[in-house]
Homo-oligomer: A and B are copies of this chain.
Amino acid sequence: MTPPSDTNLGPESPVIDTSNLPGHSIELGRDAPLVLDCGASLGPFIVAYQTYGSLNTEKSNAVLVCHALTGDQFVAELHPITGKAGWWDLMVGSGKPLDTERYFIICANVLSGCMGTTGPRSENPETGKPYGLDFPVITIRDMVNAQKLLIDHLGIEKLFCVIGGSMGGMQALQWAVSYPEHVFSAVPIAASARHSAQNIAFHEIGRQAIVADPNWNGGDYYSHETRPHSGLAVARMVAHITYLSESSLHQKFGRRLQDRSEVAYGFDADFRVESYLRHQGITFVERFDANSYLYITRAMDYFDLAEEYDSVLARAFSETPVRFCVISFTSDWLFPTSESRTVVHALNAAAANVSFVEIEADGGHDSFLLDVPELHVTLTGFLGGAAAHRGVT
Protein backbone atom coordinates (compact mmCIF):
# COMPACT_ATOMS: atom_id res chain seq x y z
CA MET A 1 0.00 0.00 0.00
CA THR A 2 1.27 3.44 -0.86
CA PRO A 3 0.88 6.55 1.21
CA PRO A 4 -1.54 9.21 -0.04
CA SER A 5 -0.04 10.72 -3.17
CA ASP A 6 -2.33 13.60 -4.01
CA THR A 7 -2.32 15.40 -0.72
CA ASN A 8 0.82 17.44 -1.21
CA LEU A 9 -0.49 20.91 -0.83
CA GLY A 10 2.87 22.52 -1.37
CA PRO A 11 3.37 25.00 1.44
CA GLU A 12 5.62 26.86 -1.00
CA SER A 13 2.76 27.62 -3.39
CA PRO A 14 2.85 31.18 -4.71
CA VAL A 15 2.00 33.96 -2.31
CA ILE A 16 -1.29 35.71 -3.09
CA ASP A 17 -0.35 38.85 -4.98
CA THR A 18 -2.89 41.65 -4.62
CA SER A 19 -0.59 44.48 -5.65
CA ASN A 20 -2.19 44.94 -9.07
CA LEU A 21 -5.81 44.09 -8.53
CA PRO A 22 -8.36 45.61 -10.87
CA GLY A 23 -11.08 47.77 -9.35
CA HIS A 24 -10.86 50.54 -6.81
CA SER A 25 -9.33 51.03 -3.44
CA ILE A 26 -9.54 53.88 -1.02
CA GLU A 27 -7.76 54.87 2.14
CA LEU A 28 -10.16 55.57 4.99
CA GLY A 29 -9.88 56.49 8.65
CA ARG A 30 -6.77 58.63 8.37
CA ASP A 31 -8.22 61.67 10.13
CA ALA A 32 -10.58 59.76 12.40
CA PRO A 33 -9.66 56.14 12.94
CA LEU A 34 -12.40 53.56 12.99
CA VAL A 35 -13.16 52.54 16.56
CA LEU A 36 -13.68 48.81 16.53
CA ASP A 37 -15.97 46.74 18.75
CA CYS A 38 -12.92 45.27 20.45
CA GLY A 39 -11.94 48.77 21.58
CA ALA A 40 -8.96 49.19 19.27
CA SER A 41 -8.75 51.97 16.71
CA LEU A 42 -7.89 51.23 13.11
CA GLY A 43 -6.67 53.89 10.72
CA PRO A 44 -5.69 54.60 8.16
CA PHE A 45 -6.91 51.50 6.40
CA ILE A 46 -7.64 50.47 2.83
CA VAL A 47 -10.95 49.27 1.46
CA ALA A 48 -10.77 47.59 -1.94
CA TYR A 49 -14.03 47.54 -3.86
CA GLN A 50 -15.56 47.00 -7.24
CA THR A 51 -18.53 48.59 -8.94
CA TYR A 52 -20.79 47.64 -11.83
CA GLY A 53 -23.29 49.90 -13.61
CA SER A 54 -23.64 53.63 -13.01
CA LEU A 55 -24.82 55.73 -10.12
CA ASN A 56 -27.80 57.79 -11.24
CA THR A 57 -27.90 61.53 -10.66
CA GLU A 58 -30.26 61.16 -7.69
CA LYS A 59 -27.81 58.62 -6.24
CA SER A 60 -30.84 56.50 -5.47
CA ASN A 61 -29.91 53.29 -7.29
CA ALA A 62 -26.93 52.04 -5.29
CA VAL A 63 -26.97 48.41 -4.25
CA LEU A 64 -24.35 47.22 -1.79
CA VAL A 65 -23.59 43.54 -2.30
CA CYS A 66 -21.96 41.98 0.75
CA HIS A 67 -19.80 38.95 0.20
CA ALA A 68 -19.62 35.75 2.23
CA LEU A 69 -16.73 34.29 4.24
CA THR A 70 -14.51 33.39 1.31
CA GLY A 71 -15.95 35.76 -1.26
CA ASP A 72 -14.58 39.11 -2.36
CA GLN A 73 -15.41 42.19 -4.41
CA PHE A 74 -15.14 40.45 -7.78
CA VAL A 75 -18.83 39.75 -8.03
CA ALA A 76 -19.49 39.72 -11.75
CA GLU A 77 -16.25 39.50 -13.68
CA LEU A 78 -13.41 37.04 -14.12
CA HIS A 79 -11.56 36.73 -10.86
CA PRO A 80 -8.10 38.26 -11.20
CA ILE A 81 -6.41 35.40 -9.36
CA THR A 82 -8.44 32.31 -10.14
CA GLY A 83 -9.58 33.36 -13.62
CA LYS A 84 -13.01 31.96 -12.82
CA ALA A 85 -16.37 33.70 -13.21
CA GLY A 86 -17.37 36.09 -10.43
CA TRP A 87 -19.17 34.49 -7.51
CA TRP A 88 -22.49 36.18 -8.33
CA ASP A 89 -22.12 36.39 -12.08
CA LEU A 90 -25.51 34.69 -12.39
CA MET A 91 -27.17 37.45 -10.41
CA VAL A 92 -25.37 40.66 -11.33
CA GLY A 93 -25.26 42.04 -14.88
CA SER A 94 -27.28 43.48 -17.68
CA GLY A 95 -30.79 42.00 -17.62
CA LYS A 96 -30.07 39.95 -14.50
CA PRO A 97 -31.90 40.37 -11.18
CA LEU A 98 -29.30 42.88 -10.00
CA ASP A 99 -29.54 44.65 -13.34
CA THR A 100 -26.50 46.79 -14.02
CA GLU A 101 -28.56 48.80 -16.53
CA ARG A 102 -30.72 49.91 -13.63
CA TYR A 103 -28.67 49.65 -10.45
CA PHE A 104 -25.23 50.76 -9.39
CA ILE A 105 -23.66 47.74 -7.75
CA ILE A 106 -20.93 48.13 -5.15
CA CYS A 107 -19.06 45.33 -3.42
CA ALA A 108 -16.20 45.85 -0.99
CA ASN A 109 -13.75 43.30 0.31
CA VAL A 110 -14.50 43.04 4.05
CA LEU A 111 -12.22 44.36 6.74
CA SER A 112 -9.72 41.61 7.70
CA GLY A 113 -10.07 40.13 4.21
CA CYS A 114 -7.20 39.36 1.90
CA MET A 115 -8.21 40.80 -1.45
CA GLY A 116 -6.94 44.34 -1.05
CA THR A 117 -8.80 45.54 2.04
CA THR A 118 -6.70 45.91 5.18
CA GLY A 119 -6.35 42.66 7.07
CA PRO A 120 -3.83 40.56 8.96
CA ARG A 121 -1.52 40.31 5.94
CA SER A 122 -1.39 44.10 5.56
CA GLU A 123 1.51 46.11 6.84
CA ASN A 124 1.18 47.23 10.43
CA PRO A 125 2.24 50.90 10.33
CA GLU A 126 3.64 50.59 13.84
CA THR A 127 6.12 47.87 12.90
CA GLY A 128 6.42 48.06 9.13
CA LYS A 129 5.68 44.32 9.04
CA PRO A 130 2.47 42.40 8.36
CA TYR A 131 0.06 42.51 11.27
CA GLY A 132 -0.37 38.77 11.65
CA LEU A 133 -2.17 38.18 14.93
CA ASP A 134 -1.53 41.76 15.96
CA PHE A 135 -4.39 42.71 13.71
CA PRO A 136 -7.36 43.55 15.93
CA VAL A 137 -10.30 41.15 16.00
CA ILE A 138 -13.05 42.39 13.71
CA THR A 139 -16.82 42.02 14.00
CA ILE A 140 -19.56 42.07 11.39
CA ARG A 141 -20.47 45.54 12.67
CA ASP A 142 -16.89 46.70 12.13
CA MET A 143 -17.09 45.46 8.55
CA VAL A 144 -20.34 47.37 8.07
CA ASN A 145 -18.92 50.52 9.68
CA ALA A 146 -16.02 50.42 7.24
CA GLN A 147 -18.48 50.00 4.36
CA LYS A 148 -20.44 53.00 5.66
CA LEU A 149 -17.30 55.14 5.38
CA LEU A 150 -16.93 53.94 1.80
CA ILE A 151 -20.55 54.76 1.00
CA ASP A 152 -20.11 58.22 2.55
CA HIS A 153 -17.03 58.70 0.41
CA LEU A 154 -19.05 57.81 -2.67
CA GLY A 155 -21.55 60.49 -1.69
CA ILE A 156 -24.41 58.06 -1.29
CA GLU A 157 -26.82 59.15 1.42
CA LYS A 158 -29.11 56.15 1.23
CA LEU A 159 -28.45 52.75 -0.27
CA PHE A 160 -31.30 51.43 -2.35
CA CYS A 161 -30.51 47.93 -1.17
CA VAL A 162 -28.04 45.97 0.91
CA ILE A 163 -27.98 42.34 -0.10
CA GLY A 164 -25.91 39.26 0.56
CA GLY A 165 -25.91 35.55 1.31
CA SER A 166 -24.53 33.83 4.40
CA MET A 167 -22.10 36.27 6.05
CA GLY A 168 -23.25 38.74 3.42
CA GLY A 169 -26.76 38.38 4.84
CA MET A 170 -25.41 39.06 8.33
CA GLN A 171 -23.96 42.31 7.01
CA ALA A 172 -27.26 43.21 5.34
CA LEU A 173 -29.04 42.73 8.68
CA GLN A 174 -26.38 44.69 10.53
CA TRP A 175 -26.69 47.56 8.04
CA ALA A 176 -30.44 47.68 8.65
CA VAL A 177 -29.91 47.77 12.40
CA SER A 178 -26.95 50.15 12.49
CA TYR A 179 -28.02 52.53 9.73
CA PRO A 180 -31.78 52.19 9.25
CA GLU A 181 -32.08 55.68 7.77
CA HIS A 182 -29.44 54.93 5.17
CA VAL A 183 -30.89 51.69 3.83
CA PHE A 184 -34.06 51.55 1.75
CA SER A 185 -34.22 47.77 1.54
CA ALA A 186 -32.29 44.78 2.85
CA VAL A 187 -32.13 41.23 1.53
CA PRO A 188 -30.48 38.73 3.88
CA ILE A 189 -30.24 35.36 2.12
CA ALA A 190 -29.40 32.08 3.86
CA ALA A 191 -28.38 34.03 6.92
CA SER A 192 -29.18 34.35 10.61
CA ALA A 193 -29.31 36.95 13.34
CA ARG A 194 -26.72 35.08 15.36
CA HIS A 195 -24.27 32.30 14.73
CA SER A 196 -25.38 28.95 16.13
CA ALA A 197 -23.41 26.68 18.43
CA GLN A 198 -23.00 24.14 15.63
CA ASN A 199 -21.67 26.78 13.29
CA ILE A 200 -19.25 28.10 15.88
CA ALA A 201 -18.12 24.51 16.33
CA PHE A 202 -17.46 24.01 12.62
CA HIS A 203 -15.52 27.28 12.51
CA GLU A 204 -13.51 26.23 15.51
CA ILE A 205 -12.48 23.04 13.68
CA GLY A 206 -11.24 25.10 10.76
CA ARG A 207 -9.27 27.39 13.02
CA GLN A 208 -7.79 24.47 14.92
CA ALA A 209 -6.70 22.90 11.63
CA ILE A 210 -4.90 26.14 10.72
CA VAL A 211 -3.20 26.76 14.06
CA ALA A 212 -2.17 23.09 14.20
CA ASP A 213 -0.20 23.57 10.99
CA PRO A 214 3.40 24.29 12.06
CA ASN A 215 3.75 26.57 9.05
CA TRP A 216 1.17 28.83 10.63
CA ASN A 217 3.87 29.79 13.13
CA GLY A 218 1.66 31.74 15.50
CA GLY A 219 0.28 33.73 12.58
CA ASP A 220 3.71 35.04 11.60
CA TYR A 221 4.36 33.33 8.28
CA TYR A 222 4.30 36.15 5.74
CA SER A 223 8.05 36.51 5.58
CA HIS A 224 8.60 32.75 5.46
CA GLU A 225 8.97 30.49 2.48
CA THR A 226 6.19 28.28 3.80
CA ARG A 227 2.51 28.87 4.37
CA PRO A 228 -0.04 26.95 6.47
CA HIS A 229 -1.58 25.56 3.32
CA SER A 230 -2.31 22.12 4.72
CA GLY A 231 -4.24 23.50 7.67
CA LEU A 232 -6.10 26.02 5.55
CA ALA A 233 -7.02 23.32 3.03
CA VAL A 234 -8.46 21.13 5.78
CA ALA A 235 -10.41 24.14 7.09
CA ARG A 236 -11.80 24.72 3.62
CA MET A 237 -12.71 21.08 3.15
CA VAL A 238 -14.70 20.82 6.35
CA ALA A 239 -16.46 24.11 5.63
CA HIS A 240 -17.21 23.00 2.12
CA ILE A 241 -19.14 19.95 3.29
CA THR A 242 -21.34 22.20 5.38
CA TYR A 243 -22.17 24.30 2.32
CA LEU A 244 -23.69 21.36 0.47
CA SER A 245 -26.73 19.27 1.23
CA GLU A 246 -26.52 15.57 1.91
CA SER A 247 -28.74 14.91 -1.07
CA SER A 248 -26.70 17.11 -3.42
CA LEU A 249 -23.54 15.27 -2.34
CA HIS A 250 -25.35 12.02 -2.93
CA GLN A 251 -26.58 13.04 -6.38
CA LYS A 252 -23.28 14.61 -7.39
CA PHE A 253 -21.01 11.85 -6.16
CA GLY A 254 -22.80 9.07 -4.34
CA ARG A 255 -20.26 6.29 -3.89
CA ARG A 256 -18.89 6.65 -7.42
CA LEU A 257 -15.21 6.02 -7.83
CA GLN A 258 -12.60 8.38 -9.24
CA ASP A 259 -10.82 7.19 -12.40
CA ARG A 260 -11.03 3.54 -11.40
CA SER A 261 -13.47 0.67 -11.68
CA GLU A 262 -12.94 -0.74 -8.21
CA VAL A 263 -11.66 0.46 -4.86
CA ALA A 264 -7.89 0.47 -4.46
CA TYR A 265 -7.78 -0.56 -0.79
CA GLY A 266 -5.66 2.40 0.11
CA PHE A 267 -5.79 6.04 1.12
CA ASP A 268 -5.71 7.68 -2.26
CA ALA A 269 -8.92 9.38 -3.32
CA ASP A 270 -10.91 6.30 -4.37
CA PHE A 271 -14.22 8.10 -4.24
CA ARG A 272 -15.07 11.10 -6.39
CA VAL A 273 -16.27 13.00 -3.36
CA GLU A 274 -12.78 12.68 -1.90
CA SER A 275 -10.96 14.04 -4.92
CA TYR A 276 -13.54 16.80 -5.19
CA LEU A 277 -12.89 17.84 -1.60
CA ARG A 278 -9.13 17.68 -2.01
CA HIS A 279 -9.45 19.86 -5.08
CA GLN A 280 -11.52 22.35 -3.09
CA GLY A 281 -8.80 22.52 -0.46
CA ILE A 282 -5.93 22.84 -2.91
CA THR A 283 -7.45 25.59 -5.02
CA PHE A 284 -8.60 27.58 -2.01
CA VAL A 285 -5.13 28.12 -0.58
CA GLU A 286 -4.07 29.81 -3.80
CA ARG A 287 -6.47 32.66 -3.23
CA PHE A 288 -7.02 32.96 0.50
CA ASP A 289 -4.95 33.94 3.51
CA ALA A 290 -5.02 31.64 6.54
CA ASN A 291 -5.08 34.48 9.06
CA SER A 292 -7.94 36.15 7.21
CA TYR A 293 -9.78 32.85 7.55
CA LEU A 294 -9.26 32.98 11.32
CA TYR A 295 -10.44 36.57 11.58
CA ILE A 296 -13.49 36.33 9.35
CA THR A 297 -14.77 33.12 10.92
CA ARG A 298 -14.35 34.79 14.30
CA ALA A 299 -16.38 37.78 13.17
CA MET A 300 -19.21 35.42 12.21
CA ASP A 301 -18.98 33.59 15.55
CA TYR A 302 -19.32 36.86 17.42
CA PHE A 303 -22.36 37.93 15.42
CA ASP A 304 -25.44 38.23 17.62
CA LEU A 305 -27.71 41.10 16.60
CA ALA A 306 -29.92 40.83 19.68
CA GLU A 307 -27.09 40.88 22.18
CA GLU A 308 -27.19 44.59 22.93
CA TYR A 309 -30.99 44.53 23.01
CA ASP A 310 -31.25 42.22 26.02
CA SER A 311 -31.52 39.32 23.57
CA VAL A 312 -34.86 40.63 22.27
CA LEU A 313 -34.22 40.65 18.54
CA ALA A 314 -37.40 42.61 17.73
CA ARG A 315 -35.97 45.58 19.62
CA ALA A 316 -33.05 45.70 17.18
CA PHE A 317 -35.58 46.46 14.44
CA SER A 318 -37.76 48.84 16.44
CA GLU A 319 -39.50 51.34 14.12
CA THR A 320 -37.28 50.34 11.24
CA PRO A 321 -38.22 52.00 7.92
CA VAL A 322 -36.27 49.35 5.97
CA ARG A 323 -38.12 46.98 3.62
CA PHE A 324 -36.90 43.44 4.11
CA CYS A 325 -36.90 40.39 1.92
CA VAL A 326 -35.71 37.36 3.88
CA ILE A 327 -34.81 34.27 1.89
CA SER A 328 -33.86 30.75 2.96
CA PHE A 329 -33.42 27.39 1.23
CA THR A 330 -35.05 24.11 2.18
CA SER A 331 -31.83 22.05 2.00
CA ASP A 332 -29.60 24.54 3.87
CA TRP A 333 -28.60 22.88 7.14
CA LEU A 334 -25.90 25.41 8.03
CA PHE A 335 -28.28 28.37 8.08
CA PRO A 336 -31.59 26.53 8.11
CA THR A 337 -34.95 28.16 7.49
CA SER A 338 -35.57 28.26 11.24
CA GLU A 339 -32.87 30.94 11.50
CA SER A 340 -34.58 33.07 8.87
CA ARG A 341 -37.92 32.53 10.59
CA THR A 342 -36.44 33.91 13.80
CA VAL A 343 -35.49 37.06 11.91
CA VAL A 344 -38.92 37.28 10.29
CA HIS A 345 -40.73 36.82 13.61
CA ALA A 346 -38.68 39.62 15.11
CA LEU A 347 -39.40 41.86 12.11
CA ASN A 348 -43.09 41.07 12.41
CA ALA A 349 -42.99 41.88 16.11
CA ALA A 350 -41.42 45.20 15.17
CA ALA A 351 -44.19 45.78 12.60
CA ALA A 352 -41.57 45.98 9.87
CA ASN A 353 -42.24 45.66 6.17
CA VAL A 354 -41.03 42.15 5.43
CA SER A 355 -41.55 39.43 2.90
CA PHE A 356 -40.20 35.96 3.48
CA VAL A 357 -39.57 33.20 0.99
CA GLU A 358 -38.32 29.72 1.71
CA ILE A 359 -37.10 28.41 -1.62
CA GLU A 360 -37.22 24.73 -2.47
CA ALA A 361 -33.66 24.04 -3.56
CA ASP A 362 -31.40 21.05 -3.29
CA GLY A 363 -28.02 22.80 -3.22
CA GLY A 364 -27.73 23.32 0.53
CA HIS A 365 -26.30 26.54 1.89
CA ASP A 366 -24.55 27.22 -1.42
CA SER A 367 -27.94 27.56 -3.12
CA PHE A 368 -27.60 31.33 -3.01
CA LEU A 369 -24.65 31.01 -5.40
CA LEU A 370 -26.37 28.59 -7.77
CA ASP A 371 -28.75 28.87 -10.66
CA VAL A 372 -31.97 28.66 -8.67
CA PRO A 373 -34.75 30.14 -10.83
CA GLU A 374 -37.03 30.89 -7.88
CA LEU A 375 -34.28 32.96 -6.29
CA HIS A 376 -33.95 35.01 -9.46
CA VAL A 377 -37.69 35.49 -9.71
CA THR A 378 -37.95 36.46 -6.04
CA LEU A 379 -35.16 39.02 -6.22
CA THR A 380 -36.33 40.50 -9.50
CA GLY A 381 -39.81 40.90 -8.05
CA PHE A 382 -38.77 42.32 -4.71
CA LEU A 383 -36.23 44.73 -6.15
CA GLY A 384 -38.65 45.81 -8.88
CA GLY A 385 -41.33 46.61 -6.30
CA ALA A 386 -38.88 48.40 -4.05
CA ALA A 387 -37.49 50.34 -7.01
CA ALA A 388 -40.99 51.51 -7.89
CA HIS A 389 -41.47 52.75 -4.33
CA ARG A 390 -38.11 54.38 -4.29
CA GLY A 391 -38.65 55.92 -7.69
CA VAL A 392 -35.70 54.18 -9.30
CA THR A 393 -36.45 53.82 -12.98
Contact = CB atoms under 8 A, between A and B. Distances in A.
Contacts of A1: 133-137
A250 interface: yes
Given A4-B211, A9-B212, A197-B253, A205 B277 contact: yes
Contacts of A304: 255
A219 B219 CA distance: 27
A208 B263 contact: no
A386 interface: no
Interface string A193-229: 0111110111011011101111000110000000000
A209 B207 contact: no
Interface stretch (A72-80, A121-129, A233-241): A233-241
Given A197-B252, A270-B301, 8 more contacts: A3-B218, A4-B211, A7-B208, A197-B249, A197-B253, A201-B273, A204-B278, A209-B212
29 contacts: A1-B135, A3-B133, A3-B211, A3-B218, A3-B219, A7-B208, A133-B267, A136-B265, A137-B266, A137-B267, A195-B255, A197-B246, A197-B252, A197-B254, A201-B241, A201-B273, A202-B238, A202-B241, A204-B273, A204-B274, A205-B277, A207-B267, A208-B233, A208-B237, A212-B230, A214-B214, A234-B234, A263-B302, A267-B298
Contacts of A278: 204, 208
A344 B212 CA distance: 43
Interface size class of A (residues with CB under 8 A): 35 or more
A356 interface: no
Contacts of A230: 212
Nearest to A239: B205
Contacts of A271: 197, 200, 204, 301
B37 A250 contact: no
Taken together, the copies of this chain in the complex come to: 2
- Name, among A4, A7, A336, the residue most crowded by chain B CB atoms within 10 Å (CB to CB): A4
A32 interface: no
Contacts of A270: 301
A234 B213 CA distance: 11
A263 B140 CA distance: 14
A37 B265 contact: yes
A382 interface: no
A205 B218 contact: no
Contacts of A237: 204-205, 208
Interface string A166-210: 000000000000000000000000000011111011101101110
Contact of A212 (B2, B234, B250): B234
A198 B250 contact: yes
Contacts of A213: 212
A201 B274 contact: yes
B234 A200 contact: no
A284 interface: no
A252 B195 CA distance: 15
A281 interface: yes
Contacts of A238: 202, 205, 238
A273 B3 contact: no
A269 B214 CA distance: 20
Interface string A61-88: 0000000000000000000000000000
Contacts of A274: 200-201, 204
